[in-house]
Structure 1
């Protein structure tokens, strides 16, 4: 009897557990991807968080009515009420939508979305503003697209941004036909690097604010600014490692770890690591570099947030000056040398270190008033030895060019540059009647210094009879001569037909030593901005008073200083034409002061007027497929005035002239996001007519600007199978095209090209393997170029194979 009683109790207990009532489901983000770490509350008393697959469950419930509420930082709260009865299991899924109002004013905690689509920009307005509500074109590339393209540098991703193309191999681009200027990290100006391309392992996304951005950043070029946003810590645990091999002896490794460091989640961390040791398709060129990038976010209260980033980068490469071809006297055959062909010597090197730290603070005094500040210190050190072209061909005994012999020079340079940038501002939100105001007022300070101790030694030109050297044609009669009567170069000419690469004996050259004068450039600006909402309209009204200060011989008795100032307005209007589509219009200006080194140098022909520009732009921004896909269309006109160019005076190579005026007219389209849960897409197209409209050289008028293609665009798509025998397999296909471009040589034009990339991936559980073939048709092409001696070919067919694990 006792045994039967025990059996009965056990059976009853098992039956209750087996037949228990339960609410369970999956929480998705706006891109239908599982959301890890979302908080799910049951009638405000019992709570849980979603797991790696976005799943949650509440087992063992009684039969009654329950309210389920899901919250997640950066997303709008969702609530659903259900009634549980008859010991049933109820499936209740949620799809959260980003909420701009809930985002921090300074980007301190990380972006949680995992998509090609980005919803919010901080750099365009210095407030957390939905991109569709910003009256200016904003293009971007997210880390998810970088990952699928196995991109490691910015040069690898600019093809995804409309109206942007490479100018050279360096951190050097064209925006809407205008050559890029300063570099920005987290919205703060730093030193533009010449040579080493920073790795992307710690970059969340690359943004381009199109057109003049001086109202936000002070001096800037008229085409736009590129901002690199670093990865910030996340509240949930995410860990990923990845190893890559491939063509050109490529070896890469990356790691990305993030999560909470304490139980209440008030201290978060993120650690990004990257390493590369690779050759390239270019002779003598390789990439050896590493990045260590820790980041910490401290959230002591709901009102205060602090973030600290540290990035340590090392580069041990050669400075690739591009491909030379035979001179103009031998025609303009781009194939006269192979695309792998480079000038240099085996013993050349470029060693550089980049270290920067960023500190950001956001504090809400109340629901209406907040204070925000960001500071960056950026240090760059370089040790360089290079054999490079002297930008001219050799000459014979009659002074005529020899198109197969390249004139050479050697540069041995050591330098350090330092940048400090701080941005502080208040945000105040208030309603006046039917108008909703977001008022921003602040002060920015930017400083860049080249301290005492920088120096360079240069060997170039031809040897003179007295044992010195000269680059002046006026000394032609005094050049030393060889047995054939040709001038003897200080650095041996480089034979384009029979190249030789050796360990150079630089002690045989005649060097001229020069110490760089210490310099300091600083600017500061006061600005105010009001973002106004009224019914379906949004207005952006802003202005900035900027002061520019340029100093040479800094902190010396002969210190020289140039001061300039400028008021910079900004106007914008957004209208919600439908629930999904906004149309907008904007007017902005840009300003670039002429540096003191140009203004006070008697050889340049100055003083010169500052560079000024304005832009008028209209467009439309929309979200489709349940807000999973964004599309932005922009039409613009830019006028740029007082551009400095070399006067090409034979008797004074330093003489400059102001070209007059340049114009850029065009339209752009960017598409990013998901069409379905399986299909992800990034696509872009740009038509840009950038021409010289005014010049004192009549032949220039009407010419297209250098490295400014009339048409360019491309796409990259990924389709993933999520069921059946192909479950976990992903297919990618991409293409980009660029039309013909002018160079600085009027007789040399770079041809149009179209290249294709394709790949396949396989994901099972937390393991992923990717194979990508770039330029699989092996199209010969050039991504940029200056002249016959400086062309920049694109990579031939190559592959990348990566293996990754997420845990």
Structure 2
């Protein structure tokens, strides 16, 4: 707070000095120009002289404010005309907080708290699924931490969103807006360093690929690494982000994006430090149940293509395809309790887990501007395949006071615990009307129908289980502008979660 106050005072003093010098120069020039000769005498008359206008602007008033978002309506709608709570974490806020992964932003989003690793609780409900550009297909699995290098905004719609996005938690939905190629040239080189041997570097270049900027590109490369106060814990991230945009003609624009992600965290499955009945630590805070060879690794890639088409002056459409695949490997030791024979030792289990996911989303929207009505009609299809392979074994005990982390896991007798596959298909169609009844009153209504089919295969028991269902969602809401600063809204919406929600089982 003191540093921020000092900076503001320095800016104010600088503006004052600048304005004073400019005003003095303007006054001097004005006085010289209004001396009029009448014979041998000079008279001074500045009544008809118009001084230059001096404007001093500050970015603090609009620094983190976003006036428009598409998450709540799938159309470009002012937030104060959206009948639901929408919060946008802007690129300026992300940069000013030096946030590099999504966990750095939780404190900036009301109603949200960290749950487990990167999972969050939003308005009391666990939030597992994340959207990218309004599409399903999160490349980060359950225990991997989403990075912000490719993200321009984080949008949060609070409350049920079934009328637009189908099944989901009633607490809301989170959407990451990715960076796209820009019309103006922008080149950025960043290097950051911090404690715990943190070091990161990134290069980004975006801009026109030809003279009229009808073709544009984006290239981004990011890498970081850091240690921890916990023993055996290090983290590395590498990201390659490529983009290409093409204005095919005045009515059609194509955007292509490709992202490759690698994340490696040694000793990632961190648990707390064991305590006695009075809450006193039984080990140093640097103690870790993981051995030096334990790790978590994620390899993922994403391809996304979007075509925007202006059919005529009042009718537009967009079609988006998103494909992702990832593999998350975990090999770690887990504490199972305090040894019954030696209070300085903890018993452990070794776990070897591999999760694979492949998903495809196709979505299309048709938007009609019909006078006071903005009508949206759309459909989407989501296909997801996932498998989960899990082995475990009884591991050697570990000392709390003098731990030996050089464990030979090859001597363990591994047992197959889980071998399963899941295939999910979901189709949804929806319609929405935004009606500007008056200059102050706006009404939004929407409905959606969803169809789900899921097949679960247990390869150990050689059994298959199939599930299918349908879902209906509706929404109605209104906003009214009492004045420029007070614009209340009222909203009623429904949401639902399928009785068998797909997520390869997470073993804690």
TM range (shorter): 0.7 to 0.9
Aligned counterpart in structure 1 of residue 317 of structure 2, from 371, 374, 386: 371
Residues 356-367 of structure 1 mapped to structure 2, 5 A cutoff: 356-367=302-313
Are the aligned partners of 2:274 and 2:281 in contact in 1 as well (CA < 8 Å)?
Answer: no
Aligned counterpart in structure 1 of residue 228 of structure 2, from 258, 280, 286: 280
Distance 1:363 1:236 in 2: 22
Aligned counterpart in structure 2 of residue 458 of structure 1, from 389, 392, 409: 392
Name the counterpart of 1:307. Answer: 255
Larger mean Cα displacement after TM superposition, 527-536 or 272-281: 272-281
Distance 1:562 1:171 in 2: 29
The verdict on how the C-alpha distance between 1:493 and 1:140 changes in structure 2, with shifts beyond 3 A counting, is: farther
**Shift in Å, 1:128:** 1.0
Are the aligned partners of 1:238 and 1:259 in contact in 2 as well (CA < 8 Å)?
Answer: yes
The verdict on how the C-alpha distance between 1:158 and 1:270 changes in structure 2, with shifts beyond 3 A counting, is: same
Name the counterpart of 1:475. Answer: none
Are the aligned partners of 2:267 and 2:292 in contact in 1 as well (CA < 8 Å)?
Answer: no
Distance 1:274 1:334 in 2: 41
Residues 287-306 of structure 1 mapped to structure 2, 5 A cutoff: 287-306=235-254
Q: Does 1:247 align with 2:150?
A: no
The verdict on how the C-alpha distance between 1:570 and 1:280 changes in structure 2, with shifts beyond 3 A counting, is: same
Name the counterpart of 1:569. Answer: 474
Distance 2:502 2:157 in 1: 29
Name the counterpart of 1:442. Answer: 378
Distance 2:324 2:499 in 1: 24
Are the aligned partners of 1:420 and 1:446 in contact in 2 as well (CA < 8 Å)?
Answer: yes
Aligned counterpart in structure 2 of residue 194 of structure 1, from 127, 132, 142: 142
Name the counterpart of 1:347. Answer: 293
Distance 1:244 1:117 in 2: 26
Name the counterpart of 1:624. Answer: none
TM-score (norm. length: structure 2): 0.82
**Shift in Å, 1:580:** 3.5
Number of aligned residue pairs: 452
Distance 2:399 2:87 in 1: 44
Distance 1:340 1:211 in 2: 40
Are the aligned partners of 2:268 and 2:296 in contact in 1 as well (CA < 8 Å)?
Answer: no
Distance 1:245 1:204 in 2: 22
Distance 2:489 2:166 in 1: 23
Helix, strand or coil at the partner of 1:342:
coil
RMSD of Structure 2 on Structure 1 (CA):
3.0
Distance 1:316 1:557 in 2: 34
Name the counterpart of 1:517. Answer: 420
Name the counterpart of 1:172. Answer: 119
Name the counterpart of 1:14. Answer: none
Q: Does 1:551 align with 2:458?
A: no
Residues 31-180 of structure 1 mapped to structure 2, 5 A cutoff: 115-168=63-116, 170-180=117-127
Q: Does 1:393 align with 2:393?
A: no
Are the aligned partners of 2:232 and 2:267 in contact in 1 as well (CA < 8 Å)?
Answer: no
Distance 1:368 1:231 in 2: 27
**Shift in Å, 1:313:** 0.8
Distance 2:130 2:360 in 1: 13
Are the aligned partners of 1:346 and 1:501 in contact in 2 as well (CA < 8 Å)?
Answer: yes
Helix, strand or coil at the partner of 1:295:
strand
Distance 2:373 2:193 in 1: 52
Deviations 1:198-236 (A, max 9, x none): 321111011111112122211111111211111112111
Helix, strand or coil at the partner of 1:516:
strand
Q: Does 1:425 align with 2:373?
A: no
Distance 1:238 1:546 in 2: 42
Distance 1:215 1:582 in 2: 23
The verdict on how the C-alpha distance between 1:89 and 1:241 changes in structure 2, with shifts beyond 3 A counting, is: farther
Name the counterpart of 2:327. Answer: 381
Helix, strand or coil at the partner of 2:232:
coil
TM-score (norm. length: structure 1): 0.53
Are the aligned partners of 1:325 and 1:334 in contact in 2 as well (CA < 8 Å)?
Answer: no
Distance 1:122 1:216 in 2: 11
Helix, strand or coil at the partner of 2:145:
coil
Distance 1:340 1:298 in 2: 52
Distance 1:165 1:596 in 2: 22
Helix, strand or coil at the partner of 2:107:
helix
Distance 1:272 1:561 in 2: 42
Helix, strand or coil at the partner of 2:327:
strand
The verdict on how the C-alpha distance between 1:92 and 1:267 changes in structure 2, with shifts beyond 3 A counting, is: farther
Distance 1:161 1:458 in 2: 38
Distance 2:96 2:254 in 1: 31
Name the counterpart of 1:234. Answer: 182
Name the counterpart of 1:795. Answer: none
The verdict on how the C-alpha distance between 1:339 and 1:448 changes in structure 2, with shifts beyond 3 A counting, is: farther
**Shift in Å, 1:290:** 0.7
Helix, strand or coil at the partner of 2:494:
strand
**Shift in Å, 1:404:** 5.5
Distance 1:117 1:340 in 2: 41
The verdict on how the C-alpha distance between 1:403 and 1:148 changes in structure 2, with shifts beyond 3 A counting, is: farther
Are the aligned partners of 1:296 and 1:308 in contact in 2 as well (CA < 8 Å)?
Answer: yes
Structure 1: 5+ residue runs without aligned partners?
A: 1-87, 96-113, 460-489, 599-653, 655-789, 791-807
Name the counterpart of 1:725. Answer: none
Deviations 1:8-43 (A, max 9, x none): xxxxxxxxxxxxxxxxxxxxxxxxxxxxxxxxxxxx
**Shift in Å, 1:334:** 6.3
Aligned counterpart in structure 1 of residue 218 of structure 2, from 270, 277, 281: 270
**Shift in Å, 1:296:** 1.5
Are the aligned partners of 1:120 and 1:128 in contact in 2 as well (CA < 8 Å)?
Answer: yes
Distance 1:193 1:548 in 2: 22
**Shift in Å, 1:140:** 2.3
Are the aligned partners of 2:339 and 2:346 in contact in 1 as well (CA < 8 Å)?
Answer: no
Larger mean Cα displacement after TM superposition, 279-288 or 529-538: 279-288
The verdict on how the C-alpha distance between 1:332 and 1:325 changes in structure 2, with shifts beyond 3 A counting, is: farther
Helix, strand or coil at the partner of 2:93:
helix
Distance 1:570 1:417 in 2: 32
Helix, strand or coil at the partner of 1:529:
strand
